[in-house]
Structure 1
Amino acid sequence: MSVRRTVLLTGASGVVGQAVLREARSGAVRIIALCRGTSAAVPEGADAVVHGDISQDRFGLDEESHAALAREVDTVIHSAGLTEWGLPADRYLPVNVEGTRQAADFARRAGASVHFMSTAFVAALAVNAPHRLGAGNVTANYVRSKLRAEQLLRDSGVPHTVFRPTNLIGDSLTGWTSRGQIVQLMSDWICRGRAPFIPVHEGNRIDVVPQDLLAKAVLGAVQLGDDQGEFWVTYGERAMDMTAALEVCAKHAANLGRALAPPPVVDPDGIDPDRLRELPPLAQSYLTVLRDVSETTRCSGGVLPTSLPELSERHGLAPVADTDAYRRTLEYASTHLGQSRSPERTAA
């Protein structure tokens, strides 16, 4: 008979945290959400809430409250993180690095395991990466903070797993997401015919993953009592290429009554900086992100590592084509999310 585990969920208000809460509604686990602020509201799907700050000693709790929480919890899902790209390196330290240290310290006190949400883009920083990531790359400081957090967990000695998702899109069946991210915003921009070109290195796959697949894999690991392993939540060689992604965009635009001629795909290394500066600010921002994400993917080998076959078999994840999930994400976003805004440049 399986034991109903009590989980401390950090980052409960984030995209990953909200997806976990949505998938946990069956009641198979008991979730205590760690939330910032003083609101008394319990996030939908959570069984209880603790108000604290992941970046502070003992989450900002007094000794007695921290100890009491540790007595309740046997598992930590650590999804809290600063995911906005393009910030100075020190901006990521309080949440992404120190927050992970606090999660590990709490887990040690509780005798709990940690399931950590990292990023598949750490592959770009591997010692055997085929190319070096540029210092000015918009993802670089964020990715380095996640890699540092992974190392911190390894050094802590706390039992843990690491999940490395690529950029998240909406629910695989409905397209639902708690808020729009860079994929939805940029796709809307493309579908409106505003992209003069798309910068992608030859051989790169466009790897995006539905958020419910990540949430189900993590919750499955919790229920099975997994406490070690590194899992790449990506499509890998099965991921679509840019031609396939643009075909999805064109069909989506047609369903909205727009005729979209797919923009040309160009080599990011050949973009004329002067041409880029002549474009509207939104176009400059999106094209810079696309260029840098392409560089990050190229440094990762063009095709990201994947553990999806293993995760699917172990946790009974239903197969879903990434193109179908991407289409549903676009449909949901066009109906429910505000579009054509400046990019937040946020990751998984």
Structure 2
Amino acid sequence: MPAFDASSAFNAFNASDRPTLLLTGGSGVLGRALIEELAPGFRIVCLRHRTGVADPRVEEVPADLTQPRLGLSPSDLARLTADVDLVVHSAAATNWKAAPEAIWRANLDGTAAVLDLAARAEAPVYHVSTAFVANPLAPEEQRRFPGAAAYLASKTAAEQAVREAAVPTAILRPSVVMGDSRTGRIAGAQGLTRALGAIVKGQVPVLPGAPDARIDMVPQDVVARAVGELLRAGATGGEYWLTAGTQALSQGEVVDVCLEFAEGYGPRPHPPRLIPLESVHRLLLPLIEGPSFPESLRRRFHTYAELLLVFQRALPFDSSLGAPHCGTTVSRDDLRQALVRNLAAWSAGPGGLRRAPRASYGASSARRLAS
């Protein structure tokens, strides 16, 4: 499929007449970062479902991914068809507690509707998928975790629909999107953020997975910068892995960072015991699913098991970061620093530690971040 020359189109516009970019998922973690990255060069129109963006740089249009033609009014559909120059499809159903059929509707039918609108507008589509399509669940995992299974399968099917689209496309595969690498702030608490917070609080006695399993996380601004460069270069027809790759932290390293961070606020929590995945399936999950196990602990561990089964990986992902027009690479030290800043932002917010770090922690923490 020939590449859409967005770079020529982009340069043809001046600051007062910018190309129009249709963005879905603008209120999400990555969507907010994309607005920061793209607002200077594009006129952004966001499709809004439940949560508005409330950003003066953005025009919002009511829509619904699960409805025919995105639930757009005839006038909005006609206007977008006439005005849109390119599309970034970042919206997805990511709540694994939702019914599997609802996840499929949003992720596959929604993508098909976005592609149909793009075809009407003759606009290229940049589809935000997930690197974890490379982590298919085993049949036993699919039975125990139907939400995660539906998410991964629907994202895989959506990618195929994108490849078969009538317009130029690019598939973007970020891994876990963390908060900002400089401030640590994130638009909303994600499941993995809550799991890391529970480790800091010493509330996690066991975790599924080996210490050397990789947990691939990339800060939101790093992902957004790569997407911005791809758009401005007009890169289509490719699949881009927006991941840490070989630099991803291991699960053992992530736990150590959490425990070191907790030490700044009080005694170091007891480290969680890391249990091999085969033992999780054969012994631990059947045990906690029994009637004698406390319901609150059962729910918590089930959530952590679901997250970590999807988000950990024995081998590193491929990574496109640092390739031409695809942002910059991240080092293991970059990721450790970003994780500490993410924990600091979490600790100051709802559900965090809600207390100041010990006075002696500031200098030692600064030294660790600088090293």
Smaller-chain TM-score bracket:
0.7 to 0.9
**Aligned ranges 1:30-109 → 2 under 5 Å:** 30-36=43-49, 43-44=54-55, 46-109=57-120
- What secondary structure is seen at the aligned counterpart in 1 of 2:41? coil
> 1: distance between equivalents of 2:68 and 2:95?
24
| Corresponding residue of 1:184 | 193
Contact 1:87 1:141 in 2 (8 A): no
Counterpart position of 1:165: 174
Against the structure 1 CA distance between its residues 282 and 221, is the aligned structure 2 distance closer, same or farther, given a 3 Å change threshold? farther
Please give the TM-score of this superposition, normalised by the length of structure 1: 0.86
Aligned ranges for residues 198-213 of structure 1 at < 5 Å? 198-201=207-210, 203-213=212-222
Counterpart contact for 1:185–1:339, Cα < 8 Å: no
Q: Does 1:11 align with 2:25?
A: yes
State the Cα distance separating 1:264 from its structure 2 match.
2.0
Contact 1:33/1:43, CA 8 A, preserved across alignment: no
Distance 1:217 1:175 in 2: 18
2:276 pairs, out of 257, 267, 271, with: 267
Deviation per residue, 1:39-89 (Å, 9 max, x gap): 9x7631633121222222232223343121121111111111110124432
Q: Does 1:28 align with 2:41?
A: yes
Q: Percent identity?
A: 31
State the aligned residue count.
Answer: 330
Q: Which amino acid aligns with 2:191?
A: I
Question: C-alpha separation between the residues in 1 aligned to 2:214 and 2:278?
Answer: 17
Decide whether the 8 Å contact of 2:321 with 2:327 is kept in 1. Answer: no
2:359 is matched with: none
Contact 2:29 2:188 in 1 (8 A): yes
For 1:288 and 1:67, locate their aligned partners in 2 and report how far apart those are by CA, in whole Å.
46
Aligned twin of 1:174: 183
Distance in 2 (CA, whole Å) between partners of 1:144 and 1:244 is 30
- For 1:276, give the aligned amino acid: I
SS at match of 1:34: strand
- CA distance in 2 between partners of 1:182 and 1:285 (Å): 13
Q: Which runs of 5+ in 1 are unaligned?
A: 341-348
Say if 1:337 and 1:170 are closer, same or farther in 2 by CA, change over 3 A: farther
Structure 1: distance between partners of 2:119 and 2:25: 19
Displaced runs of 4 or more, over 6 A: none
Report the counterpart of residue 233 of structure 1 in structure 2: 242
Cα distance in 2 between the residues matched to 1:137 and 1:314: 40
Q: State the shift of 1:287 in Å.
A: 2.7
Contact 1:92 1:145 in 2 (8 A): yes
Separation in structure 2 between the aligned mates of residue 8 and residue 315 of structure 1, nearest angstrom: 20
SS state at 1:19 partner: helix
Partner of 1:85, secondary structure, is: coil
2:348 and 2:25 mapped to 1: Cα distance?
26
Amino acid at match of 2:203: R
Tell me which of 110, 113, 133 is aligned to 1:122: 133
Matched, 1:287 2:301: yes
Matching residue's letter, 2:268: A
CA RMSD of aligned residues (A): 2.5
- Within 5 A, what are the aligned runs for 1:326-337? 326-337=339-350
Q: Contact 1:7 / 1:74 at 8 angstroms: preserved in 2?
A: yes
| Alpha-carbon separation, structure 1, partners of 2:351 and 2:311 | 28
Between the two structures, name the one with larger relative contact order (CA 8 Å, sep ≥ 6).
1
- Cα distance in structure 1, aligned partners of 2:189 and 2:176: 12
Against the structure 1 CA distance between its residues 242 and 42, is the aligned structure 2 distance closer, same or farther, given a 3 Å change threshold?
Answer: closer
Supply the distance in 1 between the matched residues of 2:316 and 2:304 (Cα, whole angstroms).
16
Question: In 2 relative to 1, CA 338–44 (structure 1 residues): closer, same or farther, beyond 3 Å?
Answer: farther
Gap regions ≥5 residues in structure 2 = 1-7, 354-371
Deviation at 1:132, TM superposition (A): 6.5
Contact map agreement 2:26 2:32 (CA 8 A) in 1: yes
Measured after TM superposition, the shift of residue 279 of structure 1 is 5.1
TM-score of the two chains, using structure 2 as the length reference: 0.81
Preserved contact between residue 174 and residue 332 of structure 1 (Cα < 8 Å): yes
Is the partner of 1:314 in helix, strand or coil? coil
Equivalence for 2:357: none
> What's the secondary structure of 1:136's corresponding residue?
helix
CA 1:291/1:8 → structure 2, altered by over 3 Å: closer, same or farther? same
Counterpart Cα distance in 1 of 2:349 and 2:318: 32
Q: Supply the distance in 1 between the matched residues of 2:48 and 2:28 (Cα, whole angstroms).
A: 10
Q: What letter corresponds to residue 141 of structure 2 in structure 1?
A: G
1:243 paired residue number? 252
Cα separation, 2, equivalents of 1:279 and 1:209: 35
CA contact (8 A) 1:207 1:239 kept: yes
**Contact 2:96–2:151 (8 Å) recurs in 1:** yes
- 1:53 aligned counterpart, secondary structure: coil
